[in-house]
Amino acid sequence: IVCDVANFAQVHEMVSGVISQFGKIDILVNNAGISMTYGRVGESDPSTWANVIAVNLIGTFHCCHAVIPYMQKQGGGQIINLKGYGAHFPSPYVTAYGASKAALVAFTKSLAREYKRDHIHVNIFSPGIVKTDLITHVDTTADGKAHLHKIGWVIDAMAGPVEYAASFAVKMALMGKRVTGKSLYAVSARRLLFRVLRYGIRRLWQKK
């Protein structure tokens, strides 16, 4: 069911449609997210900046707001939110994205405490850098292009497939009844090291 998560009315219509078809909602995965033009704050369009917050943070609130009453009635459920690298590290040139993800961490932990007695378990995980349009098709300012050039190798080396992140979400759903308020990482330090080494070997092979 397609909807704009930043639109409160559309989200509630979506949830009503799901309830009509399936009768209940056991798991909510807040995966919708966008970024903005790579550039400094002074060069950013205010409406574009605000729209990132509207989708990434307020959109998550909308979905939780719509789903929680049904989870309460059925005796519980699971909510899984996704965070990005901006949640814990500085995010120059994509400040709206970083701010939205940092706020999402606090929102998740607060939500978990609010609904623990209702057996609604709320957790958050970082999928790592994932190969989606969010990083492969971006508009940039002059400063943004320079920044992307500097970090381009990081994206090439560390970005993983969508399927890996999706499988981790499934694992979280299976374990979610035992934990709440947790912040987890889909990609371990060992896996990141493996990706970097594989990237380096591939680059050396291409130069031969």
- CA dist 90 and 108 (Å) reads 20
How far apart, in Å, are the Cα atoms of 192 and each of 28, 57, 59, 110, 152? 28, 27, 30, 30, 16
Helix (H, G, I), strand (E, B) or coil at 123: strand
Q: Which of 38, 70, 97, 115 is catalytic?
A: 97
User: In 3D, which of 170, 168, 48, 25 has the Cα closest to residue 100?
Assistant: 48
Q: Is residue 123 within 8 Å of residue 183, measured between CB atoms?
A: yes
Q: Catalytic annotation on 93?
A: no
- CA dist 18 and 157 (Å) reads 39
| Active site members | 97
